[in-house]
Structure 1
Amino acid sequence: MKRVISFFYTIYLFVGATIYVFVYGGIVLMIGGLLRLFSKNLSKKFVVKQIETFGRMAFKLLGIKVYKFGEISKTDNNFLIVSNHQSALDIPLVIGYVTPAAFIAKKELAKVPGINWYLKYLNSVLIDRGNIRQTAAALKEVVKRLRRGVHFIIFPEGTRSEDGKVLSFKPRSLELAFKYKVKVLPVSIWGLHRVWKKKRFLIERHPVYIKIHDFIDPKDFNSEEELRIHVENVIKEGVEFLERRHYSEES
């Protein structure tokens, strides 16, 4: 019976996401296009705000309770959001409950109607992973956008965690932050690995927890490795805190 409920729950998610992206999303972009005739800045603010709203609505429509701890400290500087990776739903969670941010994504997403529109509005950079020269050029573009105040999000583990534990960060995964002295905003996520398990199609209802940490300044570290290990430990401690919080509320 539980699998049957999960099946219809999953279908509900995909149908709802499709309707949003192609119907509501189309309306949002049409309004954004009209606003662009008067002000590019106003147009972008409107569309990005709607993307943030979608991030939150994705969980409300699924009936998934999100527990949020912490807020972003006020800053005039650009920053890099660094989060652990548990599910494809990490992206709407971060966009909705932290802040809309750009992604370093695969170039194939440029061919997906709807998704490519939002990537563009968020100032994301697309990479051809098999093309070393193009990847290098794309990373230079990321640096340019970071300097213009665009926030990016990365998942340094490189893959989803099956049990919710934080995996080791990939070597040099925080090279951009360290080399260009871009502040890091660590974010810890727990619970999404149970909502949408790795290598599983079905989605299940489960509470989700997210913790926003304080900014970390790369200037305080002597190497990328030292910075990376520190950020990894901060996120690990956050995940452990969120897991304990969940079980204390269950008991």
Structure 2
Amino acid sequence: METVNKNETKKPDSRIFRVFISGYVITLLILMILTSFVFDIIALVLFLPIVLYSRSFRLFIFGVPFKFFMSLVFSLLNPFWKIKIIKKLKKNYNPSNTILFSNHLSSLDPWTINAFWFKYNMKFICKGSLFKLPICGQILTLAQEIPIHFGKGKGGWEVKKESKENAMKLAKEYTNMNIPIAVFPEGTRSRTGKLQMFKMGFFKFALENNMEILPCALHGSNKLWTLNSLLLNKGTVYVSYGEPFRPTPGMTVEELANKTRNIIFDLIKEFPDYDPNVDQLATEFSQTREQVIHILRGYPQFHYNYTIKNFKQFNIFYKKTI
């Protein structure tokens, strides 16, 4: 009779559990998006005269309900994802001419921030490509989020000049209406977990408009929604807020950006799952995926077209080059 070695007993495949989580959460997200879209259509029909006349009403009726539906992804409807605030804002805090700056680890980050800020109709700086998605694009357009469009530059992809100007103009309009704005100053999700260098654009905007700066730190979102993976995980996202402040007289854009970055990094070090080997300050700008593709053209063993078609192979080589 053949005996079974206990050490050879296979553990349950966590991948199956991840597939289940992914199916559940993605279904929930789709339902929330469709519900928001139906609500927008009903609101458009019922309140058309007011919608056409009042911009503030448009921002409210198409913004707040959409943000509320999106916040449900972190509600009791989703038992797999949790949020825990480590450092809270003061009781009865109300944003005033506020711009929130946060680190960026995952596609989940906007949903995480929105879970606490939907009642203020906070506006996010979004990739312009999201506005081209079916249904989701129409919702973002009606909610009047702030798009950033990219075009090909010398070193890869870069923000189009006219897009940057339009984004700043729209941000200024929201500032005048006392609507808070959320920005991920790293410009892209961190592939290594390090806090990347900050881009100066919206720090200059904040300085010129004497805006209140609200530092925000996120942690763990990249474990729930991993970069370059379609499978989601169960887990907790940690959130902390720094003390809101305004630029001091004579402060430069670089000083404002560095102060905000250091505050966010200090908040990250207070998280229970902080890892000093991973959670570090980057000392140079990270290369975008497109920039690495540009570099790969010089490597004969990785043909350009081959790299684009074989993402797994690309990602392996990508990690070796950054």
- TM-score of the pair, normalised by structure 1: 0.84
Higher helix share: 1
User: For the aligned residues, what is the CA RMSD?
Assistant: 2.7
Contact 1:10 1:202 in 2 (8 A): yes
Identity of aligned residues (%): 22
Q: Deviations over 1:5-24 (max 9, x none)?
A: 112211222222222212x1
Secondary structure of the residue that 1:98 maps to in structure 2?
helix
Please tell me whether residue 14 in structure 1 is matched to residue 26 in structure 2.
Answer: yes
Please tell me whether residue 29 in structure 1 is matched to residue 48 in structure 2.
Answer: no
Secondary structure of the residue that 1:219 maps to in structure 2?
coil
Contact 1:35 1:42 in 2 (8 A): no
Tell me, in whole angstroms, the C-alpha distance in 2 between the residues paired with 1:140 and 1:83.
Answer: 21
Contact 1:83 1:187 in 2 (8 A): yes
Which residue number corresponds to residue 65 of structure 1? 82
Please tell me whether residue 88 in structure 1 is matched to residue 107 in structure 2.
Answer: yes
Letter matched to residue 28 of structure 1: F
Which residue number corresponds to residue 249 of structure 1? none
| Bigger relative CO (Cα 8 Å, ≥ 6 apart) | 1
Evaluate the alpha carbon distance shift between residue 172 and residue 156 of structure 1 in structure 2; reply closer, same or farther with a 3 A threshold: same
Unaligned runs of 5+ in 1: 247-251
Evaluate the alpha carbon distance shift between residue 50 and residue 155 of structure 1 in structure 2; reply closer, same or farther with a 3 A threshold: same
Which residue number corresponds to residue 161 of structure 2? 132
Please tell me whether residue 50 in structure 1 is matched to residue 71 in structure 2.
Answer: no
Tell me, in whole angstroms, the C-alpha distance in 1 between the residues paired with 2:28 and 2:78.
Answer: 9
Secondary structure of the residue that 1:65 maps to in structure 2?
strand
Of 79, 104, 115, 2:136 maps to: 115
- TM-score of the pair, normalised by structure 2: 0.67
Of 202, 206, 229, 2:235 maps to: 206
**151-160 or 137-146, which deviates more:** 137-146
Tell me, in whole angstroms, the C-alpha distance in 2 between the residues paired with 1:215 and 1:153.
Answer: 14
Contact 2:95 2:180 in 1 (8 A): no
Secondary structure of the residue that 1:160 maps to in structure 2?
coil
Tell me, in whole angstroms, the C-alpha distance in 2 between the residues paired with 1:55 and 1:10.
Answer: 17
Please tell me whether residue 151 in structure 1 is matched to residue 180 in structure 2.
Answer: yes
Evaluate the alpha carbon distance shift between residue 46 and residue 125 of structure 1 in structure 2; reply closer, same or farther with a 3 A threshold: closer
Secondary structure of the residue that 1:207 maps to in structure 2?
strand
* Alignment length (residue pairs): 245
Which residue number corresponds to residue 74 of structure 1? 93
Please tell me whether residue 106 in structure 1 is matched to residue 135 in structure 2.
Answer: no
Of 16, 19, 28, 1:4 maps to: 16
